[in-house]
Structure 1
C-alpha cells in the first residue's frame, strides 16, 4: 500500500491560502488606515471579564476617547478629502468581505 501525494495540488492550495490571507489582512489594514485618515477613529469600549489579567478602567477609556477626538481635530484633510477617505475605507472593507466570501464559496462549491 503506497500513499501518493499530489504536490502540485498542495502548492495550489498553499498559494491560494497565502494569497487569501494577504488580501484579507491587507484590505482590512488599508480600510482602518483610511478610516483613521477620515477622522473616524474606531474606539471600542473595553469588555470587562471577571478572570481578565488586566481590565481597562473607565479613566483609561476616557483618555483614549479624548486622544481620538484630539487626533480627529488635528486632521489636515479637507471635508471632501475626508469623505473620499471614508468611502475608500468602506470599499476596502467590502473587498475584505468579498475575499472572505470568495474563499467560503471555494470551500463550499469546490
Structure 2
C-alpha cells in the first residue's frame, strides 16, 4: 500500500485558501475601519447567556455607548466624507460576502461537475 500526494494540487488549494483568507479578512477589516470613520462604530448590546462567565453590565454598556457618541462628535470628517466612508464600508462588506459566496459556489460547482 503506497500513498502518493499530488503536491501541485496541495499547493493550489493552499494558495487558494490563503488568497480567500486575505480577501475576506481584508474586506471585513476595511469595512469596520470605514464604518468607524463614518461615525457609526458598531456597539453591540450585551447578551444574556445561561452559562456566561462574564456578562457586560448595563452600566458598562451605557458607558461604551456614551464613549462612542463622544468619539463620533469629535470626527473631523465632513458630512460628505462620512457618507462616502459609509458607502465604502457597505461596499466592503458586500465584497467580503461575495468572496465567501464565490468560494461556496466553487465548492458546489466542483462537487456537481468534478
Query: Aligned-pair distance for 1:2?
Result: 1.7
Q: RMSD over aligned Cα, in angstroms?
A: 0.7
- Does 2:40 correspond to 1:47? no
Instruction: Measure the CA separation in 2 of the matches of 1:106 and 1:79.
Output: 40
* Number of matched pairs: 110
- Does 2:74 correspond to 1:74? yes
Question: For structure 1, which runs of at least 5 residues remain unmatched after alignment?
Answer: none
Instruction: Measure the CA separation in 1 of the matches of 2:51 and 2:94.
Output: 35
Query: Aligned-pair distance for 1:50?
Result: 2.1
Q: How does 1:93-104 map to 2 (within 5 A)?
A: 93-104=93-104
Q: How does 1:4-23 map to 2 (within 5 A)?
A: 4-23=4-23
TM-score, L = length of structure 1: 0.97
Structure 2 residue matching 1:70: 3-state secondary structure: helix
Question: For structure 2, which runs of at least 5 residues remain unmatched after alignment?
Answer: none
- Does 2:65 correspond to 1:58? no
Q: Which runs of 4+ in 1 moved over 4 A?
A: none
